[in-house]
Structure 1
């Protein structure tokens, strides 16, 4: 989509960024990185031989593999290097892309990006690294870059490693393996990742049974007793609707997401091609990435920020001058979240933000799903027309 006025777009992006910072409040701004502090405290307790799963402030809800991997290294420097490497590689991979403004606007929508960074949670940087690697690999694998096929294979191996590593710590990162099924010759990566995660889980159950029990107990306590079940449908159901069990909540949530994805992509009939390899269905890679993020029923700010960014980039790449409503959409969604925050701040209607997250996530995903379906149907009709013309002339 050609932006009719770059100055206006950058001005609006700056406004959303400043408002996102302001809406975090002084408490978060002057006491940031509490998730990082939780990591550091738990690792210190583990080194001392104490139980890191005893609730202390924010609970430590990561499996024993996190403790065993990072207790033997200077965690402060390792974490800093990981954050820097993720951000630098993201900037490097999209340096020539024309969707940076759209992606940044999605990332900041609802204050999710700023809130996620302020927590210092490693997940937001892990999401950005994986998304950047997938985008870079798709560029190397495009027909116009055939000489870089080896680079794409190396990036896919790196992706499989990082997805397996992060999924061993936060299981929902396993959903990124779905993207491999849309890559030619990607099945081996798609199956290797869950196998590696399963082996890591079995090793923890066998070698650290006491710590694993503590981890499961604390995670269940945080989700159910502390109402920390996320910001989307699953979290809303867990907090306000007690008629369904947790399993029923999850199944209902996943059915909604899967139905939207099947409607848009039709994975049983569609070709397994990445975005850069299928110019007729633009933005498909970022849509599939958004789908992988949406499969997590316990989406938090550090998950929603990259989700919105992927949705916005997918819509941007599939837009043109004829889609005037896309521009309204780019502006309206962040403004709707700002309006919801104002209602909460001054009207004290605290459900407004819950409703805005619930509606916003599914509305955005629904709109992008509609665009992907329209492109897929159009591409299929165009292919049939080309085949019929070839048969007539032959």
Structure 2
């Protein structure tokens, strides 16, 4: 007889295993800080239109090393931008979109005619970020490891949509050949978004905004290639006001899902951008009720959005009907069945997480990326590769 476990409680127990190992997480935090500071200094020196938004870049970071993933506790998918002028908003209820026009005769490169245009904004950012990364080249992290920087974009609706900044760790002068899907790097995957609050533009009541709130407008709305870049999707970032336990649950679920997808060969679905997008769409689906979801239900919903919206294709710019897509669908079907009947095969758990299941004691300390101190000891490049997160 197969060894079976309760799916919901097992996912909760495993989540405790993904609490931060404070030493390795500290190296990641401070390397991210060094990379972001270098980029921000150049943006400021260039007097870029984006210079005031780069201080949020660190929230989009993710460290990847084989099946290991680390992200800041306050991780984000969006890089928020505050417009330097007042705009007027026209909302569409059915599409949940907004059209942003200027109130006065301002001239600004984000505009096309009288409308704020996502294509203009993304093209300008792509140009400036390409120049900045070419100028910097590489950054010495505070851990003592050199990171080679590269930058690219993925296009959606015929416009740059997902910005990808990769800082690849230079592990030695003659690094060993790597497997096809082996990745050791810090990724910054993000979507540009305009940020507003209730004091600048009030959302219509059908968005069900809270008493005090911020909201984002971003350029991805649908799969229609003829989509108007002057129409922006509306998103209320409900995760920004969540308390520590909710943020930690979201982080641990993301790491668990990453490991599951990675060990099943769904590398494109395991990209942090795809996981974070699925997570934020799941939150948007459930509203503030998402705070009461179990780890298991949140994982099922996140992967469901990845599969149904084909985010593996969106973030990887590849054909949809391939082996990874089918595999992700199979995993999703398995998780839906496990959640419905609250039963999961113990062998599946071992295969995904490389552990012999034993409920841990949830006693580790957790902190956010913003308030962690710099580690006292700096690892060598070899140690960095081995000890980013305590293996389970």
TM-score, with length taken from structure 2: 0.29
Which is strand-richer, 1 or 2? Answer: 2
TM-score, with length taken from structure 1: 0.29
Which is helix-richer, 1 or 2? Answer: 1
Q: Which has the higher contact order (CA 8 A, sep 6+)?
A: 2
